[in-house]
Amino acid sequence: MEITADFDPSAVLRHLDAIERQAEELRAALPVEFADWQSEDMGRKRVLTVIWPTSRYRVKRRRRVVRRLRKAGQHERVIVSRRPPLRRELIERFKARFIALLDRSF
């Protein structure tokens, strides 16, 4: 038994080309949107930087303390910070921005 399909695949190919074009536009728009989020919502002067959980000074000071405790043999007492890297409002703004970007793209 032979199965034959008699349809025009050009419509499917056009649709796939449109999806590919939209994905490429999204790929180009992601770094721009991320930079805008950092400059507008986070208030950063230099965008596309590393987001530290706390200030760099505190991270470096913490490393020195941990090193000192390990050297003294008290490394079991080292407690990891449970603070989130970003405030809840910044995470919500981030999600809203990128959901809007996805809605515009597709």
Per-residue tens of pLDDT for the chain, all 106 residues = 788 878 888 988 999 999 999 999 999 999 899 999 999 998 888 887 777 666 777 778 878 887 888 777 766 666 667 777 788 999 999 999 999 999 998 8
Q: How many structural domains compose the chain?
A: 2
Evaluate whether residue 1 is within a structural domain: no
Evaluate whether residue 3 is within a structural domain: no
Evaluate whether residue 106 is within a structural domain: yes
pTM of the model as a whole = 0.60
| Residues 79 and 65 both lie in one domain | yes
State the Cα angle at 14 between 98 and 22, rounded to 5°. 15
- In terms of residue numbers, what domain contains 69? 52-85
| Residues 23 and 39 both lie in one domain | yes
Evaluate whether residue 23 is within a structural domain: yes
| Residues 25 and 42 both lie in one domain | yes
State the Cα angle at 19 between 37 and 102, rounded to 5°. 25
| Residues 93 and 80 both lie in one domain | no
